[in-house]
């Protein structure tokens, strides 16, 4: 019993130490966002007189609202697209029998080995060919489906009992109805986890929006925040204020879906 308590105490100590490492940069960001430009380079952590002037400047004297809206639109559309198409593809590869099913799944998985940096040039060439440069579609199309999402949903779809699907077919339910009414509700935790990962990935995407966007009105939030740094120096007070505001949707996603993401992790750990 004593050894078990000692092990638990060490575990809590390690977790607490790790949480400090994770939380400290976030607290530093908030503290810097509340400082004046002169105070940023002083040694004290928290500002002597916290001010909201930096947030005021970011919201009213920059294109932050436009960048925020662009990122939110891109993240929501790509998340909805991935949730639908990846789960539908995963269901098809897991529950339907057709020639070449294994080959298709292998090809999809093989794309995970290709670095994103190698795809930028063909993406840009295709965008220029179809006139997608500096458009919302040009920003979104690489993230409308993901190989990881197909793999994740396919693995969870294999756990859906075939007996339930056969019973639905006997009752006259269409194949798409089986997917939406039987299979999809049973893999909801995995779908929630996929939505969270997709939203965060597209919200924080920097490289591709930087390449495909040419005008300031079409910039996403990470690209827009980068503009506060230049040859004359970095406006750290504005960067931290914009970053703090940009973190709000991410926090909202975790608060609203934390139960689903935990269930998804637990279920994936139990799956053989």
Q: What is the pLDDT of residue 91?
A: 94
Q: What is the mean pLDDT of the chain?
A: 86
For residues 75 and 136, the answer to whether their CB atoms sit within 8 Å is no
| Domain assignment of residue 49, yes or no | no
| Domain assignment of residue 5, yes or no | no
Say how many residues make up the chain. 272
- Count of structural domains within the chain: 1
| Domain assignment of residue 55, yes or no | no
| Domain assignment of residue 18, yes or no | no
C-alpha–C-alpha distance, residues 37 and 51, integer Å:
11
DSSP 143: G
pLDDT at 272 over 50: no
| Domain assignment of residue 10, yes or no | no
Over residues 39-72, the pLDDT tens digits come to: 888 877 888 888 888 999 999 988 999 999 999 9
C-alpha–C-alpha distance, residues 202 and 139, integer Å:
10
Two structure tokens written together for 151: 């793999």
C-alpha–C-alpha distance, residues 36 and 240, integer Å:
11
Q: Residue with structure tokens 């779908």?
A: 191
Burial of 257 (0-12, 13-18, 19+ CB in 10 A): middle
DSSP 183: I
| Domain assignment of residue 190, yes or no | yes
Q: For the chain, give the percent of residues with pLDDT over 70.
A: 93
C-alpha–C-alpha distance, residues 220 and 57, integer Å:
18
Phi-psi region of 58 (alpha: psi -120 to 50; beta: other; left: phi over 0): alpha
Phi-psi region of 233 (alpha: psi -120 to 50; beta: other; left: phi over 0): left
Over residues 81-135, the pLDDT tens digits come to: 999 999 999 999 999 888 988 899 999 989 888 888 889 999 999 999 999 999 9
Q: Which domain holds residue 116?
A: 64-229+238-270
Residues 6 or more apart whose Cβ sits within 8 Å of residue 136: 70, 73, 74, 218
CATH of the domain at 249: 1.10.3720.10
pLDDT at 232 over 50: no
| Domain assignment of residue 193, yes or no | yes
pLDDT confidence of 260, banded at 50, 70, 90?
A: low
Two structure tokens written together for 181: 């009414």
Instruction: Give a three-class secondary structure readout of 92-114.
Output: HHHHCCCCCHHHHHHHHHHHHHC
Q: What is the pLDDT of residue 263?
A: 66
For residues 189 and 264, the answer to whether their CB atoms sit within 8 Å is yes
| Domain assignment of residue 2, yes or no | no
User: What pTM did the predictor assign?
Assistant: 0.85
């Amino acid at each position: 019993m004593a050894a078990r308590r000692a092990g638990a105490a060490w575990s809590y100590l390690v977790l607490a130490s790790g949480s400090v490492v994770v939380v400290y940069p976030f607290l530093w960001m908030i503290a810097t966002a509340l400082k004046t430009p002169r105070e940023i380079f002083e040694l004290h952590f928290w500002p002597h007189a916290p001010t909201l002037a930096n947030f005021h400047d970011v919201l009213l004297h920059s294109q932050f609202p436009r960048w925020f809206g662009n990122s939110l639109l891109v993240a929501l559309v790509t998340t909805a697209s991935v949730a639908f198409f990846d789960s539908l593809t995963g269901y098809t590869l897991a529950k339907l029998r057709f020639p070449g099913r294994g080959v298709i799944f292998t090809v999809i998985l093989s794309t995970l080995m290709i670095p994103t940096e190698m795809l930028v040039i063909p993406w840009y060439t295709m965008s220029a060919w179809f006139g997608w440069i500096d458009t919302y579609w040009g920003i979104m199309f690489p993230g409308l489906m993901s190989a990881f999402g197909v793999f994740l949903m396919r693995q969870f779809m294999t756990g859906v009992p075939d007996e339930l699907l056969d019973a639905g077919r006997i009752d006259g339910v269409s194949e798409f109805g089986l997917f939406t009414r039987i299979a999809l509700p049973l893999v909801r935790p995995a779908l929630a986890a996929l939505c969270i990962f997709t939203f965060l990935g597209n919200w924080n995407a920097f490289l591709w929006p930087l390449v495909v966007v040419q005008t300031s009105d079409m910039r996403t939030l990470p690209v827009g925040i980068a503009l506060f740094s230049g040859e004359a120096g970095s406006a750290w007070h504005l960067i931290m204020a914009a970053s703090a505001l940009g973190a709000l949707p991410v926090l909202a996603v975790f608060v609203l879906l934390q139960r689903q993401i935990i269930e998804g992790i637990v279920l994936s750990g139990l799956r053989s």
